[in-house]
Amino acid sequence: MILQKQSITVLKPSAGWTGFDFAGIWQYRDLLYLLVRRDFLAQYKQTILGPAWFVLQPLFLTVVFTLIFGKFAQIPTEGLPPLLFYNSGLIIWSYFSHCFTGNASVFTANAGIYQKVYYPRLINPLANCVSGLLGFSVQALFFVGYFCVYKIFIPTASHFEMTSAMLTIPLLIPLVASLGLGMGLWMSVLTAKYRDFNQITGFLAQALMYATPIIYPLSEVPEQYRFWASLNPMASVVESFRFALLGKGSFSFHLLCYSTIVAVLLLLSGIYFFKRTERRVVDYL
């Protein structure tokens, strides 16, 4: 009787930088596409208005901000129409929040799959960022529509213009994605082990929103506190995004460099932390 040797291939994620396999992610690009499609469609599945919520959600929040902070609190908007001022900050912030909060729960949300099937785990966070980019694109198109309405039907709306600074927007979007992805990867491992971080993530996202110049311009922050406000890496991003769209606000190359450095550090350390602990963290799920 002849016994045949059988080889067994064990698939397991590598720890640290050795696990960041671009070729492996590219090999599973079809899965990435399917996850992006799933995440995009699942957000408003079985809702009456469906994808319209991509536009209505920031629009409703813009109206609330206009009434409370514009009419009642009378916070200056640098001479810009409140709807455009608030909406320009909200659409870029919504994308950051999507990347951050969505990836913070990536382990718990995909626990069933992770315990049964192996594939590069980073595909899920990447899919979340790409699906959020689709929603951001829809909101940005509607913002252009609001802008055109003001320009055509409101004669006094000639004091703000879209400028050549719009060319910086393709650079700002990866910066926002890197910040959200980096923070989300850090929180994902903590959330998988300590469920208290589910609550902390929501609180942190809300606190960061009010610490970011969305409902107020950075120029309205008192001089003695402006330095501390600028330490928020999203502050310069929102101000630069608003300046690119409306020609109003502050555009600081130095602050953008600072935000870029923070984003790179968060992203690289987040990936390292994620890959280093992903094999053990499944035991906590």
Q: State how far the Cα of 38 lies from the Cα of 17, in Å rounded to an integer.
A: 29
In a domain, 55, yes or no: yes
Q: What is the pLDDT of residue 214?
A: 93
In a domain, 100, yes or no: yes
Domain count, the chain: 1
In a domain, 17, yes or no: no
Q: What is the pLDDT of residue 80?
A: 85
pLDDT for 27-72, tens place per residue?
888 988 998 988 887 777 767 777 777 778 888 888 999 899 988 8
What is the value of pTM for the model shown?
A: 0.87
In a domain, 40, yes or no: yes
Q: What is the pLDDT of residue 212?
A: 93
In a domain, 224, yes or no: yes
The residue range of the domain holding 43 is 32-284
Q: What is the pLDDT of residue 280?
A: 73
- Within 8 A by CB and 6+ apart from 237, the residues are 92, 96, 172, 175, 176, 179, 256, 259
- Within 8 A by CB and 6+ apart from 157, the residues are 81, 150, 151
In a domain, 259, yes or no: yes
What SS3 state is found at 112?
helix
Question: 């994902």: which residue's tokens?
Answer: 188
The answer to whether the beta carbons of residues 67 and 87 sit under 8 Å apart is no
In a domain, 22, yes or no: no
pLDDT for 263-285, tens place per residue?
999 999 999 988 888 777 766 66
In a domain, 178, yes or no: yes
Per-block average pLDDT, block size 10, for the chain (285 residues)? Answer: 51 53 81 87 73 80 89 86 90 94 87 79 92 90 87 69 81 95 92 84 92 91 89 94 87 91 95 83 65
Q: What is the pLDDT of residue 13?
A: 54
Q: State how far the Cα of 138 lies from the Cα of 90, in Å rounded to an integer.
A: 13
